[in-house]
């Protein structure tokens, strides 16, 4: 029997508890594999009146999954008020993340799905990572630069080569070694998590019109093109750099399996425009499967029963499918 998936609840004052509960309620129609949540069970009961089952070990989750949402409780998060985050909630979110990541790393859970957290609150309790991706990578013994954040929708996958940095700093951060490392990790991730045997990766240019042969910038000539050439020499089907403003229409999207973009918004604007309600963040380069819904805590709507669970459902489904592909490959 396959182990269940672990879902860290995220900030208890955000929409994480609500969308996890709604995902469980739609488990049959969505075809979701068994999962359990880690966090404060009161955060679920504050926004949902459905059945909950307290468990003490992941093995218990599968047995109760059809009848109730299994929850592996961590220490309580203080007073929980949907829409009103505080540092106690942040501590609870971090404990839930640590527990779920550890269970996935040990094999007690076969994948990790992370609910949305508030980095503003986490920073107040000493959290020193740019995001959950880097935290999970460290817990898995992987250097942060070797963990690749991919955002995925039904027919678009994007990888931001740089993530949460000022736009003015991006050019100085781009290097041939960085692009090659991200390209390798992306190609491996597409094979391992998505079952794509010969992945095609396309690089977006940094400047408008991909620099127009150096007329409006040399990053394409000095950094991106040499990185593409090195990846191709290694047998990876890499192409580019392409003008970013023509990479994301429907005809262009069928020519590659993932687009690597120079900076955060270059990648996330097209993905969120197309798939705002069902985009998934999947981390490549880890020894475990990790996904998350591609949205934040949405404190402004927490507790109002209007949060859409589509992205959480997609994240759970993608985690289960990736875990199955990995298991099948390992068995073979």
Could you tell me which of 180, 172, 181 has the C-alpha nearest to residue 146?
Answer: 181
Distance CA 219, CA 217 (A): 6
Residue 317 tokens, joined: 């489904």
Res 78: pLDDT: 78
User: Tens of pLDDT along 78-125?
Assistant: 788 989 899 999 999 999 999 999 999 999 999 999 999 999 999 999
Res 149: pLDDT: 92
Positions in the chain short of pLDDT 70 = 1, 76-77, 331-332
Res 131: pLDDT: 85
3-state secondary structure the chain: CCCCEEEECCCCCCCHHHHHHHHHHCHHHHCCCCEEEEECHHHHHCCCCCCEEEECCCHHHHHHCCCCEEEEECCCCCCCCCCCCCHHHHHHHHHHHHHHHHHHHHCCCCCEEECCCCHHHHHHCCCCCCCHHHHHHHHCCCCHHHCEEEEEECCEEEEECCCCCCHHHHHHHCCHHHHHHHHHHHHHHHHHHHCCCCCEEEEECCCHHHHHCCCCCCHHHHHHHHHHHHHHHCCCEEEEEECHHHCCCHHHHCCCCEEEECCHHHHHHHHHHHHCCCCEEEEECCCCCEEEECCCCCHHHCCCCCCCCHHHHHHHHHHHHHHHHHHHHHHC
Angle at the Cα of 123 (from 119 to 125), degrees rounded to 5?
Answer: 125
Q: Which residues pair with 149 in a beta bridge?
A: 283
Q: Name the pTM for this structure.
A: 0.90
Res 110: pLDDT: 95
Res 276: pLDDT: 87
Res 331: pLDDT: 65
Could you tell me if 140 and 105 are in contact, meaning their C-beta atoms sit under 8 angstroms apart?
A: yes
Query: Integer distance in angstroms from the first to the last C-alpha of the chain?
Result: 17
Distance CA 1, CA 106 (A): 16
Angle at the Cα of 176 (from 273 to 257), degrees rounded to 5?
Answer: 40
Res 332: pLDDT: 64
Identify the sign of the CA torsion 238, 241, 247, 252.
negative
Res 77: pLDDT: 63
Res 277: pLDDT: 83
């Amino acid at each position: 029997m396959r182990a269940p998936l672990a879902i860290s609840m995220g900030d208890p004052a955000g929409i994480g508890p609500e969308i996890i509960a709604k995902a469980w309620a739609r488990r049959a129609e969505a075809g979701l594999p068994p999962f359990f949540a880690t966090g404060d069970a009161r955060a679920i009961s504050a926004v949902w009146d459905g059945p909950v089952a307290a468990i003490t070990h992941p093995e218990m989750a599968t047995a109760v999954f059809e009848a109730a949402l299994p929850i592996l409780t961590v220490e309580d998060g203080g007073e929980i008020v949907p829409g009103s985050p505080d540092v106690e909630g942040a501590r609870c979110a971090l404990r839930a993340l640590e527990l779920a990541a550890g269970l996935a790393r040990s094999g007690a859970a076969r994948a990790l799905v992370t609910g949305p957290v508030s980095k503003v609150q986490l920073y107040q309790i000493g959290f020193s990572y740019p995001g959950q991706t880097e935290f999970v990578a460290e817990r898995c013994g992987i250097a942060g630069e070797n963990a690749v954040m991919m955002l995925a929708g039904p027919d678009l996958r994007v990888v931001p080569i740089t993530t949460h940095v000022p736009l003015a700093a991006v050019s100085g951060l781009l290097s041939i070694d960085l692009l090659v490392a991200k390209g390798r990790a992306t190609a491996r991730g597409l094979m391992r998590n998505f079952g794509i045997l010969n992945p095609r990766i396309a690089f977006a240019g940094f400047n408008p019109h991909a620099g127009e042969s150096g007329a409006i910038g040399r990053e394409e000539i000095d950094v991106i093109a040499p990185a593409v050439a090195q990846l191709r020499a290694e047998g990876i089907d890499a192409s580019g750099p392409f003008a970013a403003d023509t990479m994301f229409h429907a005809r262009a999207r069928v020519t590659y399996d993932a687009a690597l973009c120079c900076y955060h918004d270059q990648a996330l604007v097209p993905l969120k425009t197309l798939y705002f309600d069902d985009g998934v963040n999947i981390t490549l380069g880890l020894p475990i499967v990790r996904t998350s819904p591609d949205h934040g805590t949405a404190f402004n709507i927490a507790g109002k029963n209007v949060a859409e669970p589509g992205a959480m459902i997609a994240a759970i489904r993608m985690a289960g499918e990736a875990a199955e592909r990995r298991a099948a490959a390992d068995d073979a």
